[in-house]
C-alpha cells in the first residue's frame, strides 16, 4: 500500500513536469497547427537562463521565473516573426523548420556556454519532505505540481476570460472572418507563440534543479510532450492536463510493476492504440473547424 501511494505521488510529479512542458506546445499547436519541434530547446533555453541568472545575478530559481518567462518568450516572439510566420501556409514544413531552429539554438548555446553540464541550485526553502504516514513527498516536487496547476488555471483564464483569449478563439475558429472583424490574426499568433515559448522556459527553469542542464536536454523532452498533446486532443487544455496525468500515472505504475524500460514501451504502445481508436484525443475540443 505504501508503495502504491508513493508511486501515485511519483506519477503525479512526472505528470506535472509533462504538463508544464506540453502546455506551451499544446497552445501553439492548437492555435496555429504548428508542431514546434524547437519546443525542447525553449525548455533548454529556460534552464540556461535560470543558470545565467543564478550565476551572474544571484537569483534563486523561483525569483528568476518571471524573468525566464520574459526572456524565452522574447526569443519565441522573434522566431515567430522572422521564421514561423512565413510558414503558416505550409504546416508540415513548420515541423522541419522548427527542427532546424532547434539545432541552431542547441548549437548556439553549446558554442556560447559550453558543452558541459551546468549546475543550478534548487531553492533552499523548498528542500525537505512532507511525510504523511508512509507517504513521503518532496517539497520541491509538491511545489512543481502546484505551480503546473496554477499555470494551467492561468492559461485557461487567459483563453476564456480575457479579450485576448476571445480573439484567439475567434482566430482558431476562422481566421479569415475574424480578420474581417478587425482582429489582427498575425499579432494574435505572435503573442500566442511567445506565450507558449515562455511556458516552455518556465518548465526549463523548474526542472533544472532535478535534472541535468546540458544543450541537448530538450531533444528527449519534445517527443514526450508531443505525445501528450496528441493524446490529450487538439487544442484542448483539459485534454492536455488529463493526458499528462494519465501518462504520468501509468508510467509510474508500470515502472514499479515491471521496470522503467518496459513501462515506457507499454505506455508508447498504449498511446499508439489510443490514437488509432480515438484520433481526436481524450478530450477533443468542441471547437468546429
Partner 1 sequence: MQSRLLYDIIGLALFAGVILFGVPALFGYDGFELNTFSRYLSLAIVSMALALSWGTAGLLNLGQAATFGMGSYAMAMHLKLKASGDNLPDFMSWNNVEALPLIWAPFHSLTFTLLAGLLIPAAVGGLIAIFMFRARIAGVFVAVITLAFLVAFQLVVIEQQGLTGGQNGLTGLAPLVLFGWSVDIYSLSFYYLVGACLMIALVFGLYLTHSKFGLILRAIREDSERTRYFGYNVANYQTIIFSISAGLAGWAGMLYALVLEFASPTYMSVSFSLAIVIWCAVGGRESVLAAAVGAILVNLAEGRLSDVFVEGWHLLLGVLFLMVVMFMPRGIYGVIVDAGRAMRRKPVSKKEAQPFETSLNPKRES
Partner 2 sequence: MKRREFLGQAGAVGTMGLASGLSVPALLSGVGRAYAAADDIPVGLLFSLTGAVAVVEHTLHDAALMAIEEINAAGGVHGKQLRAIIEDPASDPATYADRARRLMIRDKCVSVFGSYTSASRQAVLPVTEQRDNLYWYPTLYEGRECSRNVMYGGAVPNQQQDILLPWLVENFGKKIYMIGNNYVYPKEENNYCRILLNDLGGEVVHEEYVPMGHSDFSSVINRIRAEKPDVIFSTLVGDSDVAFARQYRAAELDPEKMPVCSLTRSEIEVKAIGGDAAAGHFSSAPYFMSNDTPENQKFVENYKARYGADSVTHFVSEAAYFQVYQFKAALEKLDPANISPTEIRDAAVGMSMLAPQGEILIDPNLHTHLWPKVGQWQSDGQAKVILQSEERITPKPYAAYPGQQCTGDGLVKS
Which range in 122-130, 159-167, 183-191, 276-284 contacts partner 2 by CB under 8 A? 122-130
Q: What angle do CA 208, 211, 212 make, to 5 degrees?
A: 90
State the nearest-atom distance from the C-beta of 209 to partner 1, in Å. Answer: 27
Judged by beta carbon, residue 185 or residue 247, the one nearer partner 2 is 247
* 4 contributes a contact to partner 1 by CB under 8 A: no
In angstroms, the CA 48 to CA 41 distance is: 10
Among 59, 135, 275, 282, indicate the residue that binds partner 1 (CB under 8 A).
Answer: 275
Is residue 142 close enough to count as binding partner 1 by CB under 8 A? no
Q: Which of 92, 100, 160, 260 binds partner 2 (CB under 8 A)?
A: 260
Residue 262, Ramachandran bin (φ over 0: left; ψ between -120 and 50: alpha; else beta):
alpha
| Residues 203-242: x where in contact with partner 2 by CB under 8 A, - otherwise, as a string | ------xxxxxxxxx--x----------------------
The DSSP letter of residue 213 is: B
Q: Give the CA distances from residue 124 to residues 48, 61, 120, 209, in Å, rounded to whole numbers and listed in that order.
A: 19, 10, 12, 11
Q: In terms of DSSP H, where are the helices of the chain?
A: 2-32, 39-52, 61-82, 91-113, 139-161, 163-173, 175-180, 185-207, 217-232, 237-257, 260-277
Tell how far CA 75 is from the center of its chain: 16
- DSSP characters over 63-115: HHHHHHHHHHHHHHHHHHHHTGGGGTT-HHHHHHHHHHHHHHHHHHHHHHH-S
In the list partner 2, partner 1, none, the entry touching 85 (Cβ below 5 to 8 angstroms by class) is none
Q: Which of residues 211-270 bind partner 1 (CB under 8 A)?
A: 219, 223, 226-227, 230, 234, 261-262, 264-265, 268-269
C-alpha cell at 143: 511545489
Residue 128 interaction partner, one of partner 1, partner 2, none, beta carbon < 5-8 Å per kind? partner 2
Say whether 226 sits in a helix, a strand or coil.
Answer: helix
Binding status of residue 91 toward partner 1 by CB under 8 A = yes
Residues 99-118 that bind partner 2 (CB under 8 A): 107, 110, 114-118
Question: With contact defined as beta carbons under 8 Å apart, do 14 and 210 qualify?
Answer: no
What is the contact surface with partner 1 in residues (CB under 8 A)? 33, 35, 37, 83, 86-87, 89-93, 95-97, 99-104, 106-108, 111, 219, 223, 226-227, 230, 234, 261-262, 264-265, 268-269, 271-272, 275-277, 279-280, 288-289
Sites of contact with partner 2 (CB under 8 A): 2-3, 6-7, 9-11, 13-14, 17, 107, 110, 114-119, 121-122, 127-129, 136, 138, 140-141, 209-217, 220, 252, 255-256, 259-261, 264
Amino acid at each position: 500500500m505504501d508503495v502504491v501511494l508513493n508511486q501515485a505521488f511519483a506519477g503525479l510529479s512526472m505528470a506535472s513536469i509533462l504538463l508544464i512542458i506540453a502546455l506551451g506546445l499544446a497552445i501553439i499547436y492548437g492555435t496555429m497547427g504548428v508542431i514546434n519541434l524547437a519546443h525542447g530547446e525553449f525548455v533548454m533555453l529556460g534552464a540556461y537562463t535560470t543558470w545565467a541568472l543564478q550565476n551572474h545575478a544571484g537569483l534563486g530559481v523561483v525569483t528568476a521565473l518571471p524573468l525566464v518567462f520574459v526572456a524565452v518568450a522574447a526569443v519565441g516572439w522573434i522566431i515567430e516573426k522572422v521564421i514561423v510566420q512565413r510558414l503558416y501556409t505550409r504546416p508540415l514544413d513548420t515541423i522541419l523548420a522548427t527542427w532546424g531552429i532547434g539545432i541552431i539554438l542547441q548549437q548556439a548555446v553549446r558554442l556560447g556556454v559550453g558543452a558541459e553540464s551546468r549546475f543550478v541550485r534548487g531553492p533552499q526553502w523548498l528542500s525537505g519532505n512532507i511525510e504523511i504516514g508512509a507517504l513521503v513527498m518532496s517539497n520541491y516536487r509538491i511545489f512543481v505540481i502546484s505551480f503546473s496547476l496554477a499555470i494551467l488555471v492561468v492559461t485557461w483564464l487567459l483563453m476564456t476570460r480575457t479579450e485576448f483569449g476571445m480573439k484567439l478563439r475567434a482566430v482558431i475558429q476562422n481566421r479569415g472572418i475574424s480578420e474581417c472583424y478587425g482582429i489582427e490574426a498575425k499579432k494574435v499568433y505572435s503573442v500566442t507563440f511567445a506565450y507558449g515559448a515562455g511556458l516552455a522556459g518556465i518548465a526549463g527553469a523548474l526542472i533544472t534543479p532535478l535534472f541535468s542542464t546540458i544543450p541537448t536536454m530538450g531533444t528527449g523532452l519534445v517527443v514526450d510532450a508531443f505525445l501528450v498533446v496528441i493524446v490529450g486532443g487538439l487544442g484542448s487544455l483539459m485534454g492536455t492536463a488529463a493526458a499528462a496525468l494519465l501518462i504520468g500515472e501509468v508510467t509510474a505504475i508500470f515502472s514499479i510493476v515491471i521496470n522503467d524500460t518496459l513501462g515506457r514501451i507499454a505506455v508508447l504502445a498504449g498511446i499508439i492504440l489510443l490514437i488509432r481508436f480515438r484520433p481526436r484525443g481524450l478530450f477533443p475540443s468542441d471547437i468546429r473547424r
